[in-house]
Amino acid sequence: MLCKVLKADAEVVVRPMVWPVLNAGGGHASTNSEAGIETAPAAPDTLELQRELARLKKELLEREAQARQAGFREGQAAARQQYEAELNQALARVAEAIGRLQQERQKVHREAERDLVRLAVAIARKILRREILVDPDAIVGIAKAALEKVELRELVRVRVHPADVAALEGWLRRVGVPERVELLGDPSLERGAVLVETTRGELDASVETQLQEIERGLVDLVERRR
């Protein structure tokens, strides 16, 4: 066998050798340089894990949506309850105000009616006083109404204002009042006042007293109507 001795300074070129690999069918498999590196298929455990993660993620999103919806409904219910409570309080205040208003209205109405009664009596008082001053015989009508309430045999004394004595004296005699009955002028009395003294007591038939009784009666009537 011949041997070739290479010189030390000679350039040696070394080329890599590619050895073919037999596949299962006996053919040659393609090299990495020719076909590239193929990605290995995912293992069954990896696919199952991915599906489980997807399912958990979907379930989490659904629960989150349900929680938001439940919170929204709870918020609506709480807001509605608060609104109803505030509305009930407002209605209660309105009802209370209406009740007070009705009471005040009734009170004002009663006071107005009482004021009308007092006004009517005051007007009547002025009219009667003027009538007495203008017509001296007006005292006769007052005395007549008073004497009709007593028995003449029980009559002791009649007191009037001094200015009314003259008008009343002649009338007493004409109606048959006994002479023993004293007619007395009392300056402490006002015009139109007639005080009748009997064995049973004293009867005040003055205009002012009668007007006061009328006023009290009308005011009591107004109060009873309410």
Top-confidence residue, 43 or 133? 133
The CATH number of the domain covering residues in 136-225: 3.30.2320.30
- In which band, very low, low, confident or very high, does the pLDDT at 160 lie, cut at 50, 70 and 90? very high
The residue written with tokens 């040696």 in the block is: 12
Q: What pLDDT does residue 8 have? A: 46
Q: Whole-model pTM?
A: 0.46
Band (186; pLDDT cuts 50, 70, 90): very high
Nearest to 194 by CA among 223, 175, 172: 172
Query: What are the boundaries of each domain within the chain?
Result: 136-225
**Lookup: tokens for 106:** 């009734």
- Beta bridge mates, 185: 160
Strand partners, 29: 21
What pLDDT is stored for residue 15 in this prediction?
53
Q: How far apart are CA 83 and CA 35, in angstroms?
A: 75
Does position 166 have pLDDT exceeding 60, yes or no? yes
Per-residue pLDDT, 32: 45
Cα gap 160→94, rounded to integer Å: 60
| Distance separating alpha carbons of residues 66 and 8, to the nearest angstrom | 84
d(CA 198, CA 210): 19
CA distance 49 to 55: 10
Q: What is the mean pLDDT of residues 59-82?
A: 77
